Structure 1
Amino acid sequence: MRLFAIRDYRHLFSAQIIALFGTGLTTVALGLLAYDLAGPRAGTVLGTALTVKMVMYVVIAPLVAAYVDRFPRRTLLVLLDVVRAAVVLALPFVTEIWHIYVLIGLLQAASAAFTPTFQAVIPDIVADQSDYTRALSASQVASTMESLLSPVLAAVALAFMSFNWLFLGTSVGFFISALLVLSTRIPDARPSAHTRAWDKAASGVRTFLRTPRLRGVMALNLVVAAAGSIVVVNTVNYVRDELSGSQSDVAWMLAASGGGTLLAALVLPRVLDRISARSVMVTGAGVLVGGTIAAVALTAAGLTTWTGTAIVWTMIGVGMALVITPTGNVLRASVEPRAIPEAFAAQFSLSHLAWLITYPIAGWVGTNAGFALAWSVLAALAGAGAVGALLLWPRHDGRRAVTGPATPDRTAPRMDRAALSKAA
């Protein structure tokens, strides 16, 4: 495959896979740690920890975009991997719930700086548009393979050891990721057109607000967060308390969602060659809305079963892949090359702002008022996001900007014809 013939991309992709699998093990272990410390109120603990994570993502990512062109990106990525490895190594030793919040804050501050920097590096290494599309798909496949296989690996490991050992696996993964990043030749960021830090941090958000297709992406972020929060926050309590499952069963149910995401991601490269990103992403939003409604029906009607839950979790996984996979292409089609880091950082913050809204609903409302109410609220948010995307992202938005009819979208940055056609 031509894409993997690019040495630097190959090393970065390997680093991503290893770090993702480490992160996946942490996700499983963190839920079990919360259950170990808080029992039935684990959802509240996990929801709060993930809310701390989202606050870090929303605040830190734009600041990183503002200053990233002042530092060597390879050095920055390596240092952030090392910080994450050290923090995760401390998690098995926590004895109080507040310890989780502090360490998660430190861990996610590093991740909030790492992820948008890493995403913005890829277009500088993979210049060809077709290869870049496949790089985005490969990255999504890696993420979905992690979401499928990490819970499986965790389920097998938990049959022989305590969940605390999963944190050790994560730490090792981050260290290996740092070594692989160190072996790559990553070009430094292009100088930004903005000189003041606030202008840099805000420019990506302003681009989203004035570009129709990106306003649609913001609405779709809410759909993904509303459905995804059900899986991420509530799986541990739902499986342990409602289904009377074990620690390994929690991991297997998370794997069901990852399996749905993987199936969708495997077929998307060919689909995106023939169907517009908008159509694929809106379809994904519909699947996610259906998944949240099905989740509400399961718990409200008292139809709690292993099969039904697995089907709904898989459905949510499919929908998330359909929305998330094409997003990078839409971003690249909407900004000039030197603004790519700012656009990715803005998407990183705006998407996690949506999770900042939905995580507390899943965790706090789910624990105190029950899954039926929490999931009904999340289903309503998912539906609102899907309708918003349809209204905010006109069907022919990308083509109007290219062909230049009498009333073109003059607010969208001027881009090349091929990129805009991909986004349309």
Structure 2
Amino acid sequence: MRDTTAGGGVFGNREYRHLFAAQVVALAGTGLATVALGLLAYELAGARAGAVLGTALAIKMVAYVTIAPIAGACADRLPRRGFLVGLDLVRAAVVLALPFVTEIWQVYLLIFVLQSASAAFTPTFQAVLPDILPDEKQYTRALSASSLASSMETLLSPLLAAVLLGVFSFHWLFGGTAAGFLVSALLVVTSRVPRAKPNERTGVLDRIASGTRIFLATPRLRAVLALDLAVAGAGAVVMVNTVNYVHDVLGLADAEVAILLAANGAGTIVVALALPKVLDRLAERTVMTAGALVLCAGVAGALGLSLVDGSWAPSLVVWALLGAGAALVLTPVGRVLRRSTAESDRPAVFAAQFSLSHACWLLSYPIAGWGVTAFGFTAGWVALGVLAAGGTVAAFALWPRHDPEVLTHVHFDVPAEHVADAERTADGGWRHAHAFTIDALHRRWPDTAAVPAR
């Protein structure tokens, strides 16, 4: 592939510029759809709108958990550019159909199709970035930019929706969403997306499960899964409970809901801007586990606020802290996935991360929703704090302090060309060292204590 980085920096790469722009406009459209869906639910269900939205959110998570691994298994068999464009077109068609529904079950069906397309799009898109940005520093900056774009969408989409609602009916917001997906498709069409390296696995179930198996067999990826749990435990406080906390505990209005969510987004943005230089100096383990500790501190702060009936200024600090902790954990994840997998396995592993992380949210959302409703903020947030703390402790235990890419290991019964540079061991094996990832020839992580370096 030709060099497209002339012009300096990550945005000097033409392909990345187009894909980043596609991400931004699709995120903006998704934000508009979130506002419009809430209003549509109220139009159809009235007082039951909350239950409708809760069910739609559960459907979203089920789609993310189940569809992403299947999409990851197919990604290397399809032209990725055409696949991404097709998914954008599906999403545009679904949101254009939403204003015409008359029954709640139709909303549920369309939401499942929409979120299934998103569950296939996001990990495929994420797996493309390492291929077009092979330089680690540029890739790190791309991850930071993606995190920043997601945070800005949280802040700006509701404002854009408010402006549009001052002029149009909420049904027109779905048109804005569809336009975002269509522009995203156009930007992807005009970029050069390399085909995925073919995966050697042939069995359908083997291909679907391969990403999860790699996760569970790689110590640092097991730690990433634990950190996903910490993020979900702490993040549910913000995602699910902010509205009720502002109204029921602080006694404030809708405007303060937006301000508190903005504080959370601001914490994420500040960290996302600072992280590229930080990751030039510090290892991902240090940054991500520090982020998990920040998340635990944030949940502890929220719990303290619930015990004293809340206070506005400290609440802003706690919500910003939760945003900062999430950015510290999530922004470097792509770097960890890239160095933990062979190129041909990246689509499956990115899909597994997408699926497994949302499975953690599927656990934390009911605790934040039903638990807080039934037992109050203090009891519900204690349970979410247990999730965050448990994930943090597990991450420290699972991720070795010394975590080199190149590992010495011993093979028995592998192709001769793979051990051409190896030396014989006393028990008839072949010992050598290289950048180690779980794949067809390396199905278990080596016990580095038992395999001395040459």
What does residue 32 of structure 2 align with?
25
What does residue 194 of structure 2 align with?
187
Query: How far 1:370 sits from its partner (Å)?
Result: 2.9
Q: Distance in 1 between matches of 2:268 and 2:409?
A: 38
Give the 3 Å change call, closer, same or farther, for CA 169–161 of structure 1 in structure 2: same
Secondary structure of residue in 2 paired with 1:185: coil
What does residue 230 of structure 1 align with?
237
What does residue 326 of structure 2 align with?
320
Give the 3 Å change call, closer, same or farther, for CA 31–380 of structure 1 in structure 2: farther
Q: Distance in 2 between matches of 1:310 and 1:36?
A: 32
Which one-letter code corresponds to 2:371 in the other structure? V
Range that drifts further, 111-120 or 133-142: 133-142
Partner deviation per Cα, 1:345-374 (whole Å, 9 max, x = no partner): 111111111111111222222333333322
Please tell me whether Structure 1 or Structure 2 has the larger radius of gyration of its CA atoms: 2
Alignment RMSD = 2.9
Give the 3 Å change call, closer, same or farther, for CA 59–274 of structure 1 in structure 2: same
Give the 3 Å change call, closer, same or farther, for CA 313–167 of structure 1 in structure 2: farther
Query: How far 1:309 sits from its partner (Å)?
Result: 3.0
Partner deviation per Cα, 1:218-249 (whole Å, 9 max, x = no partner): 00000111111222222333345555555554
Give the 3 Å change call, closer, same or farther, for CA 210–411 of structure 1 in structure 2: farther
In structure 2, list runs of 5 or more residues that go unmatched. Answer: 1-7, 411-430, 440-454
What does residue 343 of structure 2 align with?
337
What does residue 127 of structure 1 align with?
134
Query: How far 1:331 sits from its partner (Å)?
Result: 0.5
What does residue 413 of structure 1 align with?
437
In structure 1, list runs of 5 or more residues that go unmatched. Answer: 416-424
Give the 3 Å change call, closer, same or farther, for CA 281–360 of structure 1 in structure 2: same
Do the aligned residues in 1 keep the contact of 2:249 with 2:309 (CA within 8 Å)?
no
Give the 3 Å change call, closer, same or farther, for CA 371–106 of structure 1 in structure 2: farther
Q: Distance in 2 between matches of 1:34 and 1:288?
A: 32
1:82 lines up with 2:86 in the alignment: no
Query: How far 1:157 sits from its partner (Å)?
Result: 4.8
Give the 3 Å change call, closer, same or farther, for CA 117–205 of structure 1 in structure 2: same
Q: Distance in 2 between matches of 1:251 and 1:212?
A: 39
1:384 lines up with 2:408 in the alignment: no
Matches within 5 A, 1:23-422: 23-31=30-38, 44-93=51-100, 97-157=104-164, 163-243=170-250, 245-303=252-310, 305-396=311-402, 398-399=403-404, 401-402=405-406, 404=408, 412-413=436-437
Q: Distance in 1 between matches of 2:82 and 2:340?
A: 29
Do the aligned residues in 1 keep the contact of 2:407 with 2:436 (CA within 8 Å)?
no
Q: Distance in 1 between matches of 2:312 and 2:43?
A: 23
Give the 3 Å change call, closer, same or farther, for CA 30–280 of structure 1 in structure 2: farther
Give the 3 Å change call, closer, same or farther, for CA 230–29 of structure 1 in structure 2: farther
* TM-score where L is the length of structure 1: 0.88
Q: Distance in 1 between matches of 2:432 and 2:169?
A: 60
The structure with the greater share of residues assigned to helix is: 1
Q: How many residues align?
A: 412
**Taking every aligned residue pair, what percent have the same amino acid on both sides?**
57
What does residue 419 of structure 2 align with?
none
1:12 lines up with 2:19 in the alignment: yes
Give the 3 Å change call, closer, same or farther, for CA 329–164 of structure 1 in structure 2: same
Q: Distance in 1 between matches of 2:371 and 2:51?
A: 8
What does residue 421 of structure 1 align with?
none
Do the aligned residues in 2 keep the contact of 1:211 with 1:412 (CA within 8 Å)?
no
Secondary structure of residue in 2 paired with 1:190: coil
Range that drifts further, 315-324 or 371-380: 371-380
Partner deviation per Cα, 1:152-195 (whole Å, 9 max, x = no partner): 43455556666554433222211111111111121222110201
Do the aligned residues in 2 keep the contact of 1:44 with 1:367 (CA within 8 Å)?
no
Partner deviation per Cα, 1:102-158 (whole Å, 9 max, x = no partner): 332121111001011111111221222222222222222222222232234345555
Query: How far 1:89 sits from its partner (Å)?
Result: 3.1
Range that drifts further, 191-200 or 242-251: 242-251
Which one-letter code corresponds to 2:157 in the other structure? S
Which one-letter code corresponds to 2:56 in the other structure? A
Range that drifts further, 245-254 or 353-362: 245-254
Query: How far 1:344 sits from its partner (Å)?
Result: 0.6
Do the aligned residues in 1 keep the contact of 2:407 with 2:433 (CA within 8 Å)?
no
* TM-score where L is the length of structure 2: 0.82
Query: How far 1:285 sits from its partner (Å)?
Result: 0.5
Give the 3 Å change call, closer, same or farther, for CA 69–288 of structure 1 in structure 2: same
Give the 3 Å change call, closer, same or farther, for CA 62–206 of structure 1 in structure 2: same
Q: Distance in 1 between matches of 2:302 and 2:129?
A: 37
Query: How far 1:71 sits from its partner (Å)?
Result: 1.6
Q: Which has the higher contact order (CA 8 A, sep 6+)?
A: 1
What does residue 5 of structure 2 align with?
none
Q: Distance in 1 between matches of 2:86 and 2:186?
A: 10
